[in-house]
Amino acid sequence: MIPIHKDLLFPAGRSPQLRFVIAFVILAASVGLQGYFVKTMGQSLTVFYVGLFWLCLNLFMAYVVYTRRLHDANFSAGLFFTTLLLTLLVVGITVWIGGLDDYMAELMANPEIANDEKSSEALIKAYQLELRRNVGWARWVNLIPLAVLTLFCAFKSGTPDENRYGPVPTQMIEPK
């Protein structure tokens, strides 16, 4: 029996390739279900809080899944956090290229827009339309750093001996 709960909830230790792939599939399913839940349940404060809790749980599980696999290859969790920061940087550049400069320039030139609900809403819609037109393809570019880390974790062999993160993990666990 595979102790998958450890691969999703306990960051200490190591996970072999097979358990990483299984845990990653479960994590991806959780992220997809979260998006579906939030989209279909509408806009209420309860849905917001459930979605926020689910997001935090997914982020923690992602940290655990990647950290355990990186530990098996004798790398620290710093590589995971570096990848997250790189992903956020790519997203920031995408948003900036997408028209954030024009949006901010318009807002600075006409500060009264912020106080007028209709003007503010129109400016936001114009910005979103420009962003969609300019960088519709970029949502996939934003995922490149995380995709590279995922492929690295999926294909990099673990260290064959005990390392600073613990003993060699087994694919299966023997019943007691």
Query: What is the distance between the alpha carbons of residues 1 and 20, in angstroms, rounded to a whole number?
Result: 15
Average confidence score pLDDT of the chain: 87
Lowest mean pLDDT of 13-22, 38-47, 49-58, 144-153, name the range.
Answer: 38-47
Report the share of the chain in percent with pLDDT over 70: 95
Could you tell me the CA-to-CA distances from 148 to 11, 97, 145 in Å, in that order? Answer: 21, 23, 5
Q: Which residues contact 111 (CB under 8 A, 6 or more apart)?
A: none
Could you report the per-residue pLDDT of 22-47, keeping only the tens digit for each? 999 999 999 999 999 988 988 889 99
CB 87 within 8 A of CB 79: no
Say how many C-beta atoms besides its own lie within 10 A of residue 82's C-beta.
Answer: 13
pLDDT per residue as tens digits for the range 80-131: 999 999 999 988 887 777 777 788 888 888 888 888 888 888 888 888 888 7
Residues 6+ apart with CB under 8 A from 79: 70, 149
